[in-house]
Structure 1
Amino acid sequence: MNVEGFAADGYEEVYRVFQQLVDSGLETGAGLSVWREGREVVRLNAGWADAGRSRPWRDDTLVMPYSLSKSFVTLAALVAVREGALALDDPIAEYWKEYGVRGKERTTLRQVLTHQAGQPRFPAEAANLDLLDDAGLRVSLAQAAPEYVPGTSLGEHALTYGHLVDGILRAAAGTTLGAMFNDVVRPALDLDAWFGIPDQELDRVADLEYAHPDWPQQLHAAPWLAIPDGALDTGRTNSRAWRQAVFGAVNMHTTASAMAAFFSHLTSEDGPVRQLLGPQLHTELLTSQVTDYDEVFGTRITWTLGFVRDKGKIAKGGIGGSAAWWSLRHHHACAYLTRQLDDHSRAARIAAALGDDLAVVGED
C-alpha cells in the first residue's frame, strides 16, 4: 500500500514510522495529520477505506474514532451552559425531573462531564434494548441507580456519556445533542465532523474492521461496553442506520485533518473554541478537574471537562486506536485516525516520532 500526502521538512521520521505501520500490516487504512503554528505540516493517508479494498483512503475519508467523540459532546453541553440554559454545578434533576431518583438527586453536569456521575455503563435493565433505541436508553439511565455515589469515584462513561448529555439538553435547553453539535458547534469551529451523517456524505465513510478476530474480548473496557449489544460489532457500526444515528459517546465521524486542526486551536486565546464558549467556560474546559484511578481505563488519570490531561498534552483517544492531542511541550497538534481496530501502540509510535508521550488516551 502506498502512503500518499506530504510531510514538511523536519517531519521525515513521522513519515517513516507511518510507512512502517503500513508496510508491516499493522495498518490497513488510516489518516495522519500534524498542525503547527496555524498550518498543516503533515498530511498522510494510506490503505483502504472499505473492507473490499476498492476505495483508497483519501484526505476527506471520514471514520468513527469511538471515544474521541466525547470531547465534542462536552462542547455541545457547554454551549448550553453559556446560553444560560443550565449551570455546571446545579443538580441535573432541576431540569430533567425523571433523572432525580435512586441517589441521583444531586448529580451535576460537571460530574457527568468528568465521568464521576456513577453511570459508566448502561444498567442491566437495558440489556434487551436495541443499540439504536435512543429514547429507551435515555430512560434506562434516568431510572437506574448509580453504581457509586456521584462524585466519589471515577470511571469513563464509556457508552452512556452522549445519552446523558442528550437527556440534559432535551430537558434544559429544548434541543438535542445532535442538533446542538451539527447546528452550532460544528459550523462555529468549521469542523468536517458529523453526528448523524447526511446522505451526501456517506460515500466518504470508512468501514471499521478488527485487527484480530478476538479483539473485542481482549479489551480491559469490555464489561463497560457490553450493554446494549452491538457497539463493537462492525456489522452494526458499518451500517447506514448507525452512521446516520446519534450515539454521542462514540459515533461522531470525522477526518484526521479536521481533528488535528481542532486540537491546534484548542488552547488559543483568540481561537474558535474560546470564541464559542467564552473565556470562563474555555478555561473550565481545559482545567484539570479530577485526578483518580479510572476503573474503565484501568489506571490513574486526570480529566478536564472532556479531555485527558497531563504535563505533556491535552488529548482524547478512542477504543480501537484513534487518538488526537495538543502537545503542551512542543506546541503542535496531531491526529491519527484508523479503521483497523486494535490498541493505541500505532498512535504511540507516531507520538514518539514527534517527541510526545501518548500514555493513557483511550480504553485499551
Structure 2
Amino acid sequence: MDVEGFAEDGYGQVRQVLQQLVDEGLETWAGVSVWRDGREVVRLNAGWADAGRSRPWRDDTLVMPYSLSKSFVTLTALAAVRDGALALDEPIAACWKAYGVPGKERTTLRQVLTHRAGQPRFPAAAAALDPLDDTGLRQSLERAAPEYVPGTALGEHALTYGHLVDGALRAAAGTTLGELFHEVVRPALGLDAWFGVPDDSLERVADLEYARPDWPEQLHARPWLEIPGGVLDTARTNSRAWRQSVFGATNLQTTASSTAEFFSRLTSEGGPVRGLLGPELHGELLAAQVTGFDEVFGTRLTWTLGFVRDKGKIAKGGIGGSAAWWSLRHGHACAYLTRRLDDHVRAARIAVALGDDLTVVGED
C-alpha cells in the first residue's frame, strides 16, 4: 500500500515515516496534514476509509478522533462566555439549578473546562443508559455528587466533558452544544468538522477498527470510559445514529486538513480563533491554567482551557491514536488522524520527523 498525496521540499521525511508505518503494519488507514505560514505543506493519505476496503482514504475523509473533540467543546463554551450567557468563575448552578446538589453548588465553568469539576466519569447509576440517551446522561450528572471537591484534584473528564458543557448551555443560553457549535463556532473558524454529520456527508465518514481485538481492555483510562457502555464499541460508533448525534467529549467528525489548519491559526493575533473569542478570552484559552498529576492520564501535565500545553507545543489527542498540535518551537501545525485504534506511537513518530515531541497529547 503506497501513501498518496504531497509533501513539499523539506517535509519528505514525513512521507517516509508514514510509508514506514504502513510497511511495518502499524498503520493501515490514516491522514496527515501539516500547515505552515498559512498554507498546507503536507497532505498525505494512506489506506481505506471503510472496513470493507472499498473506499480509499481521501483528502475529505472524516474520522472521529475521540478526545480531540473536547477542544471544540471548549470553544463552544467560550462563545457563550463571550456573549455573556456564561461566566468562567461563577457557579454554573446559578443558571443550571438542577446541577447544584450538595458538593457541586460552587462548581465553575473554569473547573469544568480544566477537568477539575470532580466528575471525570459518569456515575454508576448511568450504567444502564444508552450512550445516545443525552437527557438521561445529563440528568445522571445533575444528581451525582462529585468524586472529589471541585478544584482540588485533576483528572480529564473523559466522557462527561461535553454533557457538562451542554447542560450549562441549555440552562444559561437556551441552546445546545451542537446548535451553538454549528451555528457560530464552525462557520467562524471555517471548519470541516461536525457534531452530527449531515446526510450529504455521511459517505465521507471513516469506519473505526481496533488494531487488536483486546485493544479496549489494554487502556489505562478504561475505568473512566466504561459508563455508559458502547463508547468504545465500533459497532456503535460506526453507526449512522452515532455519527449524527452529539456526544461532545468524543464524537466530532473531522478531516486531517481542517484540523491542522485550525491548529495553525490557534495562536494568531489576527486569526479566526481570536476573532471568535476576542483578545481576553483568546488569552484565557491558551494560557496555562493548572499543572498537576492527571489521574486519568497517569502523569503530570499542564492544561489550558482546552488543550495540553508545554514549552514546545499546544496539543490535544484522542484515545486510539489521533492527535493534533501547534509547535511553539517550529511554527507549524500537524494533524494525524487515524481510524486504526491503537496507541500514539504513530503520531509520535510523525512528530519526530517534524522535530516535535508528543510525550503527552491527551490520550482519552
Instruction: Tell me if the contact between 1:220 and 1:363 (Cα under 8 Å) persists in the aligned partners.
Output: no
Task: Report the counterpart of residue 139 of structure 2 in structure 1.
Answer: 139
Question: Deviations along 1:205-243, whole A, 9 cap, x unmatched?
Answer: 000000011000000000000000000000000000000
Partner of 1:223: 223
Contact 1:344 1:362 in 2 (8 A): no
Whether the aligned pair in 2 keeps the contact of 1:73 and 1:165 (CA below 8 Å) is yes
Any residues of structure 2 matched to 1:272-283 within 5 Å, and which?
272-283=272-283
Take 1:113 and 1:284, find their aligned partners in 2: how far apart are those partners?
A: 11
CA drift at 1:12: 1.0
2:324 counterpart residue number = 324
The alpha carbon displacement at 1:102 in A equals: 2.2
| Shift of residue 48, structure 1, vs aligned partner | 0.3
- The aligned amino acid for 1:279 is P
Match of 2:45, SS state, is: strand
The 5 Å alignment of 1:341-356 reads 341-356=341-356
Query: The residue matched to 2:171 in structure 1 has which SS?
Result: helix
State whether residues 36 and 264 of structure 2, in contact with CA within 8 Å, keep that contact through their aligned partners in structure 1.
yes
1:61 paired with 2:61, answer yes
Query: How well do the aligned residues superpose, as a CA RMSD in angstroms?
Result: 0.6
Pairwise CA distance, 1:277: 0.2
Q: TM-score, normalised by structure 2?
A: 0.99
Secondary structure at the residue paired with 2:207? coil
CA deviations 1:183-212 (Å, max 9, x no partner) are: 110000000000000100000000000001
1:259 is aligned to: 259
Q: Where does structure 2 lack aligned partners over 5 or more consecutive residues?
A: none
Per the alignment, residue 105 of structure 2 pairs with 105
What CA distance in whole angstroms lies between the structure 2 residues aligned with 1:284 and 1:223? 31
* Mapped contact 1:70–1:248 kept (Cα < 8 A): yes
- Aligned match of 1:194: 194
TM-score (norm 1): 0.99
Number of equivalences: 364
Return the alpha-carbon distance in structure 2 between the equivalents of residues 250 and 185 of structure 1: 17
After superposition, what is the alpha-carbon deviation per residue over 1:251-296, rounded to whole angstroms, capped at 9, x for unaligned? 0000000000000000000000000000000000000000000000
Q: In the aligned structure 1, how far is the partner of 2:74 from the partner of 2:199?
A: 26
**Are 1:26 and 2:65 matched, yes or no?**
no
Residue 299 of structure 1 corresponds to which residue in structure 2? Answer: 299
Distance 1:27 1:200 in 2: 28
State the match for 1:94 in structure 2. 94
Letter in 1 for 2:289: Q
Specify the code of the residue in structure 1 equivalent to 2:14. Answer: V
1:35-79 CA distance string (max 9 Å, x none): 000010000001000011110000000000000000000000000
Note the C-alpha offset of 1:362.
Answer: 2.5
Deviation at 1:28, TM superposition (A): 1.2
Percent of matched pairs sharing the same residue: 82
- Contact kept in structure 2, 1:63 and 1:206, CA below 8 Å: yes
Structure 2 contact 308–362 (Cα < 8 Å) conserved: no
Distance, in Å, in 1 between the alignment partners of 2:191 and 2:146 is: 34
**Is the aligned partner of 1:14 residue 2:14?**
yes
- Checking the alignment, whether the CA contact within 8 Å between 1:28 and 1:47 is kept in structure 2 is yes
Shift of 1:181: 0.5
Aligned residue for 2:57, secondary structure, equals: coil
- Partners in 1 of 2:28 and 2:66 — Cα distance? 18
| 2:73 is aligned with 1:80 | no
Moved over 2 A (4+): none
Q: Partners of 1:84 and 1:51 in 2: how far apart?
A: 45
TM-superposed deviation, 1:24: 1.4
- Checking the alignment, whether the CA contact within 8 Å between 1:101 and 1:142 is kept in structure 2 is yes
Report the AA paired with residue 68 of structure 1. Answer: L
SS of the aligned residue for 2:333 comes to strand
Letter of the 1:269 counterpart? E
Q: Check the 8 A contact 1:192/1:258 in 2, yes or no.
A: yes
* Amino acid in the other structure paired with 1:132: L
Query: What pairs up with 1:132-171 in 2 under 5 angstroms?
Result: 132-171=132-171
